[in-house]
Each structure stands twice: as C-alpha cells, then as structure tokens.
Amino acid sequence: MKMSKKERHYGVTSGGEKLAYALGDLGSNFVWTFCSSWLTLYYTDSVLMAAGVIGTIMLVLRVADGISDIIFGVLIEKTHTKIGKARPWFGGSIIPLVVIQLLVYNVPSGLSNGGKLTWIVITYFLLTVVIYTINNLSYHAMLSRFSLNPADRNKVSSVRGIFAFLAGLILSVLTPLILNGNGGSKVQHAWTITSLIFSLACLFLQSITFFVVKEKISCYDETEKSDVPKADLKKGIDVLLHTKYFYISIVVFICTYILNGLVLATHVYYTRDVLGNADLYSLVAVVSVFATIIGISLAPKLFAKFGKRKTLIFSAVIYIVGCIVGIIGATQLKMVLVATVITGIGLAPYVAGIFTFAPDIVDLLEMQTNQRYEGLVTSANSVGIKVGTGLASAALGWGLALGGYDGVLDVQPATVQTAEIVLVYGLPIVMCILCIIAMSRWDIDKKLKR
C-alpha cells in the first residue's frame, strides 16, 4: 500500500513511543491479569462462594462483554476529536477502571450470600462489560493510528507483549507476598491492600501512555485527506463479515485466551494442591514469564522470515509438546518447570502476533473500500478476547466444582488434583490444535504486499 511522505514520516514509531505504549498494557494487566489469575481464588476462599457459581457468572457476563465490544467499537468509529478517535476514550476510562477494581475486591462481609452475589454481579459487570471494554478496546485501536506500517506494528506489539508479561512476573511475585503479609488469601484486608496497590500502579502507567502516545493519522488526515468521506459503518460491517480473516482472528483469540486464562488462574490452585506448596506459584510464574519474554523478543524476526502463519503454527506445536511433558510429570516440580519453559516459548509468538491481526485487517479493508475501520475491527477481535477469557473462567470454576473443590478445606481431594492437571495441560492441547487449523488459512500478508 503506497503511503504519502507525511505518512512515512509518522509511520515508524520512536523507542519512546514504543515504551510509552507498552506501559499502557503493563498498567492494564495490573487489572486484567490480577483479575484473571486471582479473582476466582478471592471469591472461593475469602468470600466463600461456590466455584461453579462463580464460573457461570463469569461466563455469562463475558458473553455480554463481547456484545459491548461491538457497541463501543461503533462509538469509536463515530468519534472525531482534536486528540483522535480512540485516545479520548482511553484517557477517560483510566480512573473509572481503577475505582471499579477496588469495588470488585471489596465485597462487604456483612451482606447475605444473596447480597454478596448481587455485589459480585454488578461490580464484575461494570469492570468487564463496561469500563475495561472501553479502556482495552480504545488502547488497541490506537495501534493502527500511531504505527502506520505492518513491520513497525510487529515491533510495537512485541514490546507491548514483553511488558504485558513483565506485569505477570511482577504480579506473580508481589501478590503472594502482599497477601501473606496481610493475613493470607482468606482475609479481606489482604485483598483490599493488594487491589489498592495494583490499582494505583495501573493509574500511573496508563496515564503515561495517554499523555505520550498520539494518534498520528489525524496529523495528516486533517490536511491531506480532508475531502475523504466518513467511514460507512454498514459497508464496513458487510466487508468485515465477508472476509475469512475476521473469523480466523476470532477463533485464534478465543483459543489463546482460553489457554492463557486457564493456565494463569489454575496455577494458583495447582501449585498448592498438586505440587503441595502454594509458594511455588511465584517460581512457576517467573519461569513462565522469562521463557515467554525470550520468545517474544525473537518473534519479530520469526515473523519477518517465516510469516505469521508458519510461525504461529509451529509455536502451537511447541506448546503441545510442553503440555505432554507436563502431563507426564504433573506432580514433579522439575518436570513442571521444563513444561513451563516449553509452553512459555510456544505461547510467546501469539502474545506478540495476534494483536497485529486487527491492524492488518484494517489495512486490507482500506485497500478494498478506501476507508479505515479501526474501532469496528478491533472490537471484533476484542470479542474473541472476552469470550475466550469468559470460557477460561467458566472452565476453571466448573472444573473445580466437578472435582469437588471446597474453599474451606486446607487439603483438597485427589479428584480436584486431577481436574487441575486437565485444566493446565489437557484443555490447552485442544486449543492449540484449533489454532493450527485456523492459522493454516491465514494468508493476509500476501494480499497486503500485493
């Protein structure tokens, strides 16, 4: 796709811009990863709600979340301000995001079980369906508006992925320390302090992103393309629904987030119940993060040499090998760590690559319609994220319930251990197979070059 001189000038991001954008995802994960990994434990062990009930609530609300993605995607498409299309939504959602997280982790102990359930539903709805949707959707919509060519986006997304996993590393180390230092995971005060610290971290980091990252398309769009009509949403939806890459992207996002969500959240239980030591969670998480970061750092070169399709297919195969190793040595720490390294490397290209799907599809639609649909396309991909995370949360809750999990017990029965092994290693194999099938149909790179 031929770009003007002004586009080329603005199209490649500086190191400072890459860092500032990545800090936004680092901040986001102090909410998203914290909730994905620890919220179920808070509900089952501190609030003492049934795991199956929590899993069902999370699934239902995440499906509703997928619908809200489309709504807010359309709103972004209709937004035209001096500071951009997506950036005002991102900035306006930061404070509400951290406030709602504090409410989520502070279920009043004096309420009845019905009252607690109502509090959980309302606050979780506001967090995931409304505020986080606005925040995350607008954040990712900014990518194709400040990084204007695919090669640069791969680099930006890789840096973003590294910082996202740095958040996982920080959370895996600090969360157990803060919780245990304030009475443990069964004490409300411990969760209040932990959620406050992480909420403030999110506020600080995302504020940096908002003030530093600017939408560059507006810089030339107002002068060089002022005569171009506004995007026709009906036409955009029609074209999007008729491209196979839309469906491939959703499938890969759903599978990736089911896989990652299951592993993140289940390991909190797995290290305690299967390996027999809850303190090992930090070790396993740190090993996973470092392995993934190493893989992410190599991803741009792999994408450049082999393309997304071949790289992601091979990465899924690597992940499957790691799961097999984990199943064989499920109760042995050394084998679990080896499996964690392998799966971390296998996951890395997905962390770096899938968020470039939407900008690539935006570019393809622009070639076909001469219009850009950042909000619409990003919202469609976001549906995959929310549905995948919802299914992961539901699978965790239902799996624990089927295994007979009881939050009051200090030692869980053997059936719970079996369920946790299946959740960490069994179901991810299925997700990897689906990713392989989906990515075998991905050839958008050739069309963009053409």
Handedness of CA 137, 139, 141, 143 (dihedral sign): negative
Task: Give the confidence band of 64 by pLDDT, cuts at 50, 70, 90.
Answer: confident
Token code pair at residue 358: 């939407």
Q: What is the largest CA-CA distance in the chain?
A: 68
SS3 content of the chain, % helix, strand, coil (to 5): 80, 0, 20
Position 250 in a domain: yes
Position 7 in a domain: no
What CATH number does the domain containing 316 carry? 1.20.1250.20
Phi, psi of 84 (to 5 degrees): 125, -170
Structurally, how many domains does the chain consist of?
A: 1
Summarize the confidence of residues 210-226 as an average pLDDT. 65
Summarize the confidence of residues 189-195 as an average pLDDT. 97
Residues 6 or more apart whose CB falls under 8 angstroms from that of 440 comprise 309, 313
What pLDDT is recorded for position 224?
47
Position 224 in a domain: no
Residue 173 CA to residue 286 CA, distance in Å, equals 8
* DSSP 8-state assignment for residue 427: H
pLDDT tens per residue, range 299-342? 888 988 898 899 999 999 999 999 999 999 999 999 999 999 99
Dihedral angle of Cα 176, 179, 185, 190, to the nearest 10 degrees: -160
Which range of residues forms the domain containing residue 394? 14-215+231-449
pLDDT tens per residue, range 404-435? 988 777 788 999 999 999 999 999 999 999 99
Position 136 in a domain: yes
Q: Characterise 105 by phi-psi region: left (phi > 0), alpha (psi -120 to 50), beta (else).
A: alpha
Bridge partners (DSSP) of residue 84 are 81
The answer, yes or no, to whether residue 364 has pLDDT greater than 60, is yes
What pLDDT is recorded for position 230?
55
Position 154 in a domain: yes
Position 316 in a domain: yes
190 versus 71: which is more confidently predicted? 190
Summarize the confidence of residues 366-382 as an average pLDDT. 79
What pLDDT is recorded for position 215?
86
What pLDDT is recorded for position 271?
93
Percentage of the chain beyond pLDDT 90 is: 46
What pLDDT is recorded for position 11?
65
Task: Give the confidence band of 450 by pLDDT, cuts at 50, 70, 90.
Answer: low
Position 3 in a domain: no
pLDDT tens per residue, range 22-58? 999 999 999 988 998 899 899 999 999 998 899 888 8
Does residue 274 sit in helix, strand or coil? coil
Residues 6 or more apart whose CB falls under 8 angstroms from that of 357 comprise 245, 249, 252, 253, 381
What pLDDT is recorded for position 154?
78
The answer, yes or no, to whether residue 5 has pLDDT greater than 50, is no
187: exposed, middle or buried (Cβ count in 10 Å: 0-12, 13-18, 19+): middle
Position 2 in a domain: no
pLDDT tens per residue, range 74-124? 888 888 888 888 999 999 999 999 999 999 999 999 999 999 999 999 999
Supply the angle between the helices 132-141 and 87-104 in degrees, to the nearest 10: 150
> Residue 28 to residues 51, 53, 68: CA-CA distances in angstroms?
25, 26, 18
Task: Give the confidence band of 231 by pLDDT, cuts at 50, 70, 90.
Answer: low
